[in-house]
Amino acid sequence: MNANEALITKFYTAFANADAQTMSECYHPKIHFIDPAFGLLKEDQVSKMWQMLILKSKGNLKIEFSEIKADDFSGSAKWVATYNFSKTNRKVINRISAEFAFQDGLIIKHTDSFDVWKWSKQAFGPTGYLLGWTGFFHKKIQEQALLSLRKFQETK
């Protein structure tokens, strides 16, 4: 295992242990994070997002990770998050592909990809099944995620 593979392993091990502080230590100060739920987040927003998601899960979050690969510049991993979605309390099993870029021995770019329609069917039930594939619904999900993050940042 090379240094960047060890860094990705450290990140997901910390996530599995609900350790947002150690996750944050794996990131470069100029981190850029992108995913379908939040869109683009930068710098401190990224660590706050993980902290918020861990706290909202109330200990009901299972993280599994595999297929970690990395070289000096980029890396990837597969991970699965199992949790109850806070707004509906519906069980979600989200399968995610992660891509990373590294700088100064830390993660400077982290991109998570997942099927929003599959996620929305689990999180929202029939409504997610009917509307989860639409751009309108994706925009609403992102607006709600960013609003939750803003509110969380105001309280911390």
Domain boundaries, the chain: 3-154
Claim: this prediction has a pTM higher than 0.85: yes
With cut-offs at 50, 70 and 90, classify the pLDDT of residue 119: very high
Query: What six digits make up the tokens of 18?
Result: 């609900």
CATH class of 3-154: alpha beta
Average pLDDT, rounded, for the chain: 93
Residue 122 has pLDDT above 90, yes or no: yes
pLDDT score of 155: 85
The Cα–Cα gap between 123 and 61 comes to 14
pLDDT band at 133 (very low <50, low <70, confident <90, very high): confident
